[in-house]
Chains A and B, each alone.
Chain A
Amino acid sequence: MRAAWSFARQQLFENALPMIESIEYWLHTHFSPAWAGFLGWVLVGAVYLGIFAILGLVLVYVERKVAAFFQLRLGPMRVGPWGTTQTIADAIKLLLKEPVTPDKADRFLYNLAPFFVVTATLMALALTPFGKNLQAFDIDIGLFFLLAVSSVGVVGILLAGWASDNKYSLIGAMRSGAQIVSYELSVGLSLVTMLLLTESLQLSEIIESQQAGWWIFRGHVPAFVAFVLFVIAGTAETNRGPFDLPEAESELTAGFHTEYSGLKFAFFFLAEFVNMFMIAVVASTVFLGGWMPFHLGDWAAFNAVMDFIPGPLWFLGKVAFIMFLMMWFKWTFPRLRIDQLLTLEWKYLLPLNLANLVLMAFVVLMKWHL
């Protein structure tokens, strides 16, 4: 049993890299270098598009189930065992629906907006460090790039709101703008706090720097405070409840995507879930050590068992944990009013973040971190 599992594990995770290399080798033997490079990128792009679609479908199902359990319901149960194929049915329904464009909409911008959102999300997704060397796009300004790209999505939301020629859409989009402009500060500052420890913006190096232990444990109080602040601000940045003002159902029907239907609506919907995934990715990379297993000091046996679990599983487990936290927030707390939202950011999160940054700088200066 153990041997079989270890063989399967080796096939799946340790052979992933040789597999990729062999594909690359095959490309280079059959095509000219330029074509091989191009085709390689096309393959990687296709893989990430697949990840995007599957991630969206799975997350929608998980979200619905988790929400149901929080409210003592069963959730989707009819399509497939335990409703597992419900989201696939939903996706097919959305594909078959008529894409309606309002008469007075700005047609070009209206059709462009969903692609802005999806492209921004996909660009962020490309940086996901699934495992050691298992990362499509590992640039040295990774974290900075992530922050920059994740705020491009709001351009799509603003475009969608403005181009729909609908009051609800416009109000939702404007709220989203105000929200992102505010909470981007907190996201950035809490990450800057951690950068004092990691000393690098490259995601793979950030993870390598946690070889001896995850930053949330080694960084004392300021790291933990930064983690909490990041999760709060990250939840707000993805427009999820309790910060889902841009699409507050009870006030704005569906906010900025009121007028969208069919595939274009699906883009917004999936992008929201993948954005949540990205926030969880950043949190688990910077605070929880990415694909690094959990180690406890000198407990060699314990550490060996932890090492046995492959890195990608560690990574996805941590991401799942953060996403569960965010779902827990969403299904517990009531939605904030817009003034409460801005008060929370400008009067509480931002000053706390700044103080926390100074504290962390002091900790690093005194070399108090482990």
Chain B
Amino acid sequence: MQERVSNLRRAVVAEVEDINRLIYHVLRAGVVVSVAILLFGFVLVAVTGYPIPDRSIAPRALARPLFTFTPEGYLSLGVLILIFTPVVRVFLSLVSFAKERDRQYVLMTAIVFANLLVSLVLLA
């Protein structure tokens, strides 16, 4: 009995650890990828001699400047990836609480996610 309890406890700790690692990797990857793309954008500024852009490009219009390797495309993409990192994190929290079958926290995370979507739709 005692052994079973301690095994269970270890399993719970391992699971929490998994979620922590996943969130760590997502947040870290979001920033690192964003910084890498931004640096590439500045390299393009130096190589092509285009001025540093002062207006961002809407996500819809992003494909063309990316294919033509213009700095504003890559600088905008890097910024967008950073902005979306926390949204992805909330979504992953939702999935992991659902996996744990923790209904209270699934509900709370769903509210947060819905609030994020509402503020995007409502005010954009």
A and B from one assembly?
A: no
